[in-house]
Amino acid sequence: MRSIKKRNIVNNDKKGNPGWVYILAFLFPVIIFVTGFALKGVYPFGENSALVVDGVHQYTAFYKELASQLKKGLDWTYSTHAMGYNFYGLFCYYLCSPFSLLVLLLMKFMYVNEAVTVTILIKVGLCSVSMAWYSGKKYPGRGGMAVSLGCMYGLSNFMLGYYSNVMWLDCIMLLPVLAYLIEQMVCTGKWKFYCMILGYCILTSYYMGFMLCTFAGLYYIANLITAEHRAEKIHCSLLKFTGASVMGAGLAGITLIPGITAVSRTVAAAEAGTGLSGVYGNIWKQLSAFMEDSMSFVKSGEQGDVNLYCGCAVLLLAGIYFFNREIRVVEKIVMGILSVLYFAGFHVTVLNLLFHGLHKPVGIPNRFAFILIFLILRIGCDAWGKAADASRRGILAGFAAAEIFCTVIGIKSGKTWEIVITDVVIALLFCPVWMEHWICGKMLKKRLAGVESRKLVSLMLMMLILAETGIHGIVSITDNGTASRDIYVESEQETKELLSSAGSDQNEYRAVIVNPLVRNEELLYQLNGVSMYSSTNTEEMWNFVNNMGFENLENRFQYAGATEVMDMLLGVKYLLCRNTRTLNTSYEKIGESLSFDLYENPRALQTGYMVDASAMDYVLEGNILNNPMEMQNRLLRGIAGTRLYKLKNISSETTLTGMSAFNIRLKKGEHGYLYIPGTEPDTVTINGQEQKSDYWNNNFLDLGTYDTETIVHVTAGSGVHEAVLGTYQETELDKIYEKLSAEQADLTSGTSSISVNQDGMFMISCFYDPDVRIYVDGKEAVTQSLQGLTEVKLSAGTHTVEMKYETPGLKVGAVLSILILIMMGISNLWWMRKKRSAILSDRSGGHN
């Protein structure tokens, strides 16, 4: 039986690679990303944006909002935009990375889109450096290997596809560091750096931090089993790891607790842990994601799809790893089980939900795939680092296993011809590996052209790997599409000029974009609108917008689907409509630009206004009426004492399967809305104007109002042939407005005075939040939810009303973080004193 050579990883702490290794590891993936961006016309090489999906729909707007909120001073944790929301909860979920400060700094010199892009490029480079650092710590002096593994990590499909999710990149960047510190904890007992790095990861993104906590537990157990040397007994090591992990979470308490509190109030939280049965995707297709022809994706509706490619070299190295007899069997078994477990998470629903924190991802599947990529690269690191100790037979067997694996997967996944590319790449990569082992093994002490043969061959392997991953990276980036950057810059300038020329008052009233291009366009332009796309949207928000007919999903709501009633109650005074669409409205058009028309709503109420005292008697739980017009009728009956919509059922003009058509006659001055029950039609036309369900509520259609009697023709791609028509005369809505506007006040600054003639309810057009405190004449009043909006009782007389916000979980989280910091400080002082005493004791003993 062959003896296995032991390697003392404890002594690697002070060794490493020269600086050029980390410079190259940083620059190469950045250059590949920039090259890909240039080829697809990203600014300044064209008019496009590198940001896609969440990058353009969320992050650019959130950074603009962060810059605006910080100007408020101590009141920055609550925003009145989008009808009022917990900004600190959003900050904890999306923005609390220290790199956000870099984005804010860059925004002083460039547009937010470029500021975020530059930050992403820096993070991509640091992800590569992190993996190279891990390799250098494990195998000092192997610069080519470190650069290769780092670039394979930084140019993996996960990075190429999901880079726009900038909040994830801190955790991806620190995963190799965390893994190394776990290894060190087992071997040396050192825990403080592990605690701090874990705390940083949770602080920057507790969502991804949860994934790293799960990984840390599994990886620690794996290392506990495979470690050749343990600093402590198993039970002591377990206690230390548990304590350090808890303290790490405690360090992040200032964002962890408020963040979890915010997410616990969402619709998604109520559904967490549901749907545990079944499997996702095709396992052969998922395995084929390792292959060369596997392009990254930025979004997918298939839960089984995965961004897994990280270079074909990992397949060859994995084969060599498992056939290397110098690597202990227990290590192969444990690392194999851990890798298979994470791969099973892509396929098995219950594991998928567990690794996602019991939260089903929407549109961006398998967000934990970067962990498996690291594990595969970690296996490759050991295979490469110990390749010199492997037998020729083992290397050949590893190569054959990799080729057979690719061939079988290609055939099973239906990629019979595509596997040729991967097989050829693996064969090319095998050549320098074989040369290093076969030729250089006999010339170890000789030099070829002044360079040690082994280093020269290792350099050849590095060049092949960089060529493969670089070409794949450029092709993949250009394949992922893009979004227009210039249109947002120009639209922001247009909207500001339009509103300014019209003398608009966005302090007392709201301004919306009727037909936005991105979900958070109102927030991006810092309009006081009513739309929001965020995973921290509360269940109360969703209930309100769903009941009232706004376009919505669990994590978003848009202005589309709003009615004149909602415009009035929510204080929407200014409507910006891209002139590709015509609005049939009674609102006055007060301005126009190259792309936008600006309309003014004469009935917009201020932030707060008095309503009937009996309003709460008409509140309904949930959308049990299943008709937004009836819900609004009931709300109006409560607050104004009258109904508005006249409702009647109408039938489709056609009986064709999958199609419905309605011809609706509207009288002069009559406004009409059509509610189509059942599954939302993908496409609807209203007098020839088409609207898609992704940006409109195609169950609830605004038919408009006209100066003459008009027939409105509606078609819908729906099998429903019955609909509900709601109509009213504009003069009837004018009467309701006159009643409600008689006693109103502006609360946008947080405080206002109002004179009330008789006892009633003061309704505030902001989402109800139990942490919003209302003070009447200096005393805290009881706030209530009026169908999702906020209200408080006022008696007759003149009152001063003040709104304050107490960020949920912030005080507790801050105290916890401070306590953990104090505990770590005391621990460090104790350790330093103990170390000093030991030194003095040694000196005293030596003197004697």
* Residue 498: count of CB within 10 angstroms of its CB: 21
For residue 142, which phi and psi values (nearest 5 degrees)?
-100, 70
Predicted pLDDT at 387: 85
Q: List, for residues 523-554, the tens digit of each pLDDT value.
A: 999 999 999 999 999 998 998 999 999 999 88
Residues 666/672, Cβ–Cβ less than 8 Å: yes
How confident is the model over 144-148, as a mean pLDDT?
Answer: 94
* 210 vs 208: CA distance, rounded Å: 5
pLDDT of amino acid 441: 54
| Mean pLDDT within 399-405 | 94
Min mean pLDDT across 327-331, 442-446, 634-638, 800-804 is at 442-446
Residue where the block lists tokens 């169950």: 699
Phi first, then psi: give them for residue 287, nearest 5 degrees.
Answer: -65, -35
The whole-number pLDDT of residue 10 equals 44
CA distances from 759 to 523, 746, 756, 796 (A): 37, 19, 7, 5
Pair of tokens at residue 269:
């939280």
Question: Which range, of 148-152, 340-344, 410-414, averages the lowest pLDDT?
Answer: 410-414
Four-residue CA torsion sign, 403, 405, 406, 407: positive
Residue 635 pLDDT greater than 50, yes or no: yes
Token output for 46: 């064209």
Residue 609: half-sphere exposure toward Cβ, Cα within 13 Å: 24
> Is pLDDT at 440 greater than 70 in this prediction?
no
pLDDT, tens digit (0-9, with 9 covering 90-100), for 578-614: 999 888 999 999 999 999 999 999 999 999 999 998 8
Alpha helices in 527-569 (DSSP H): 539-548, 564-569
Please give the order of strands across the beta sheet that includes 751-756: 751-756, 797-805, 772-776, 779-781
The residue behind tokens 């739309």 is: 531
- Over range 33-51, report the average pLDDT: 95
Q: Which residue has the higher pLDDT, 308 or 389?
A: 308
For the residues 143-172, what does the mean pLDDT come to? Answer: 96
- Highest mean pLDDT pick, 4-18, 51-65, 712-726: 51-65
Phi, psi for residue 24 in degrees, rounded to 5: -65, -40
Q: How many CA atoms lie within 13 A of 846 on its CB side?
A: 6
Give the per-residue pLDDT at 336.
96
Compute how many other C-beta atoms are within 10 angstroms of the C-beta atom of residue 835: 10
What pLDDT does 414 receive?
83
Asked whether 95 and 142 are in contact (CB, 8 A), the reply is no
Spatial separation of the C-alpha atoms in residues 126 and 571, rounded to whole Å: 46
Q: Which of 77, 63, 123 is nearest to 259 (CA)?
A: 77
Tokens of 26: 């940083």
pLDDT of 226-283, one tens digit each? 988 888 888 899 999 999 999 999 999 999 999 999 999 988 877 666 666 678 989 9
Q: What is the pLDDT, as a whole number, of residue 11?
A: 45
CA distance 699 to 721: 13
Tokens of 237: 């090591």
Distance in angstroms (rounded) separating the CA atoms of residues 284 and 408: 9
pLDDT in tens, 191-222: 999 999 999 999 999 899 999 999 999 999 99
Q: What is the reported pLDDT for 753?
A: 92
Q: End-to-end distance of the chain based on CA atoms, in angstroms?
A: 51
Please answer whether residues 526 and 85 qualify as being in contact, where contact means their C-beta atoms are separated by less than 8 angstroms.
no
| Alpha-carbon torsion (471, 472, 477, 478), positive or negative | positive
DSSP letter assigned to residue 279: B
- 182 contacts: CB under 8 Å, gap ≥ 6: 194, 216, 219, 220, 223, 241
- What is the per-residue pLDDT for 562? 94
**Encoded amino acid at 718, one letter:** S
Separation CA 267–CA 282 (nearest Å):
29
| Stretch among 450-459, 469-478, 485-494, 556-565 having the lowest mean pLDDT | 450-459
pLDDT at residue 741 is higher than 70? yes
pLDDT at 229: 84
C-beta separation of 265 from 538 below 8 A: yes
Confidence label for 453 from pLDDT (cuts 50, 70 and 90) = low
- Condensed to tens digits (0 to 9), the pLDDT of residues 686-698 reads 998 999 888 888 8
For the chain, give the mean pLDDT.
90
Q: What is the distance, to the nearest Å, from the Cα of residue 233 to the centroid of all Cα atoms in its chain?
A: 41
Provide the pairing of β-strand 483-484 with 48-49: antiparallel
Residue type, 458: S
Whether the Cβ atoms of residue 306 and residue 169 lie closer than 8 Å to each other:
no
Residue 326 has pLDDT above 80, yes or no: yes
pLDDT at 565: 97
pLDDT above 90 (res 450): no
Q: What is the DSSP string of 135-197?
A: HHHHSTT-HHHHHHHHHHHHTSHHHHHHTT-GGGHHHHHHHHHHHHHHHHHHHH---HHHHHH
The answer to whether the bond into 44 is cis (omega within 30° of 0) is yes
- Percentage of residues in the chain having pLDDT higher than 90: 71
The pLDDT value given to residue 4: 46
The identity of residue 796, as a single letter, is A
**What value, to the nearest 5°, has the Cα angle with vertex 220 and ends 359 and 327?**
120
Neighbouring-strand partners of residue 511: 574
What is the tens place of the pLDDT at every residue in 643-679?
999 999 999 888 777 789 999 999 999 999 999 988 8
Q: Please indicate whether residue 388 or residue 199 has the higher confidence score (pLDDT).
A: 199
Q: What is the pLDDT of residues 759-785, one digit of tens each?
A: 999 999 999 999 999 999 999 999 999
What is the biggest distance separating any 2 CA atoms in the chain, rounded to whole angstroms?
A: 112
pLDDT reported for residue 446: 52
Q: Check pLDDT > 50 for residue 316.
A: yes
> What pLDDT, on a 0 to 100 scale, did the predictor assign at position 622?
56
For the segment 456-483, the average pLDDT, to the nearest whole number, is 91
Amino acid 276: pLDDT? 65
pLDDT of residue 272: 65
CB within 8 Å of 216: residues ≥ 6 apart: 178, 182, 198, 245
Q: What is the 3-state secondary structure (H, E, C) of 586-648?
A: CCEEEEECCCEEEEECCCCCCCEEEECCCHHHHCCCCCCCCCHHHHHHHHHHHHHCCCCCEEE
In the prediction, which pLDDT does 621 show? 61
- Is the pLDDT score of 129 beyond 70? yes
- Cα–Cα nearest to 810, from 87, 9, 240: 87
pLDDT value at 749 more than 90:
no
Contacting residues for 52 by C-beta, under 8 A, at least 6 apart:
164, 298, 299, 480, 481, 482, 483
> What pLDDT is stored for residue 6 in this prediction?
45
Give the span between the Cα atoms of 259 and 264, in whole angstroms: 9
- Render pLDDT for 406-418 as a digit per residue (tens, 0 to 9): 999 988 888 777 7
How much is the pLDDT for 845? Answer: 61
Query: Which residue, 454, 156, 136, is CA-closest to 314?
Result: 156
Q: Which pTM does this prediction carry? A: 0.93
Q: Label residue 13 by pLDDT band (50, 70, 90).
A: very low
Note whether 127 and 172 are within 8 A (CB): yes
The pLDDT assigned to 40 comes to 93
pLDDT at position 625 over 70: no
